[in-house]
Structure 1
């Protein structure tokens, strides 16, 4: 077992946030009618993707009837439908859909994770829960550090979690900390002084509106906008078409 697999197993056993533990387990017991015949995962959802990923995508938290049901990030919900279709379109996924943890989906040089690993009520974790969960993201970043060269953060909540996690994991985050925005691109120095994209350990940080139903249904985030951010980040990471 490699270090990232070990981390994923430890994440999936976490019970640090009582409100989130109660909610995720209640959802797993009561279920949604459409999934009444399925056994829900009902635990923290670890990251998904290869241990040598060059591009990391950071979301918000698992969906109650998506990742909390399937056990895989962005799998089995409409947000995931949008994200994995876009990853497929830009050559970073083996298939355009993600419906179950055993559906054969592979990501090419990409890992998907979140700053909060448990499904929260109303899709809204608290800042305190984000802080409690942050050490997992810091450990994940440290393990990915030898290879990761670009990070795409989906939404402002994830952005607020990612910047301090990057700093704690050893990167030199600019001060004042850059504000979130769709299409924002920030070069992050590595500890050896290398600038993002230009040397070992530096990376490029990208902001993107979250793939929530609210954003995609209203057109705040279109498939073309998402593909543009992902393809730009992929090039920065040395991946993709």
Structure 2
């Protein structure tokens, strides 16, 4: 379920990102795909108690499939982890119509459009957070735990909640009715180098499930 509605798809706050999303050239393995190439919505349980916030859609992941954490390695880590702890009905996130159902969890990105080199500007992060991420947070009436993945997502969540702390993997911060549980991003750069291993990732998810009472 997309919490912010179809108005997201016509967002024009960040022309640089809009232009880049449309300019992404499919590699040979995706040459038959008609790329989504516009702002990418989050999805999941509208009654979620856990919100996972990533950086932005991947050029050939969410920007291709039209759903956050779908069609790339980061999405596979997120969904496989949720499956292992009983919060997803299947271990893969492949396309918008793959039948994936998340329980107690909603997933989204701090920035809704794919940025060049995965580097949105601070202004783009603020615009997207203040226009879209805050709507998702406010729409989740049962939300208890927010997991920002990496420094950019942590920065985005910090802007909205008034968090005054440095990013640190595993850090827990209580802000009003929410608990913020920071994690390294599940990007290939982190998982292939061992900065974030599978057991440490599951530890984050299990802790979130415990805090949220899912």
TM-score by length of 1: 0.85
* Matched residue count: 213
SS in 1 for 2:107: strand
| Runs of 4 or more consecutive aligned structure 1 residues displaced over 4 Å after TM superposition | none
Q: Which of 134, 137, 141 is the aligned partner of 1:141?
A: 137
Of the candidates 194, 205, 214, which is equivalent to residue 219 of structure 1? Answer: 194
Give, in whole Å, the separation in 2 of the partners of 1:90 and 1:236: 14
Q: Residue 210 of structure 1 aligns with which residue? A: 185
Aligned residues of 2:3 and 2:42 also touching (Cα < 8 A): no
Deviation at 1:60, TM superposition (A): 0.3
Larger Rg: 1
Distance 1:51 1:11, change over 3 A: same
Whether the aligned pair in 2 keeps the contact of 1:54 and 1:109 (CA below 8 Å) is: yes
Aligned twin of 1:121: 116
In structure 1, distance between residues paired with 2:150 and 2:3 = 28
* Cα offset, 1:8, TM superposition: 3.1
Deviation at 1:139, TM superposition (A): 1.4
Distance (Å, rounded) in 2 between the aligned partners of 1:64 and 1:149: 30
Query: Which residue in the other structure is 1:185 paired with?
Result: 172
Q: Is the 8 A contact 1:63 1:77 kept in 2?
A: yes
What do residues 107-154 of structure 1 show as CA deviations (whole Å, max 9, x unaligned)?
00100011100001111111111011112111111111x200111110
**C-alpha distance in 1 between matches for 2:156 and 2:2:** 22
- Structure 1 residue runs without a partner (length 5+): 168-172, 190-201
- What is the correspondence of 1:19-98 to structure 2 with a 5 Å cutoff? 19-27=16-24, 30-98=25-93
Instruction: Spell out, residue by residue over 1:134-179, the C-alpha distance to the aligned partner (whole angstroms, 9 max, x if none).
Output: 12111111111x2001111100111011012124xxxxx4xxx021
Instruction: Answer whether contact 1:141 1:166 (CA < 8 A) is retained.
Output: no
Matched, 1:14 2:11: yes
Which stretches in structure 2 are left out of the alignment for 5+ residues?
none
Would the alpha carbon gap of residues 54 and 35 (structure 1) be closer, same or farther in structure 2, given more than 3 Å must change? same
CA distance in 2, matches of 1:95, 1:166: 32
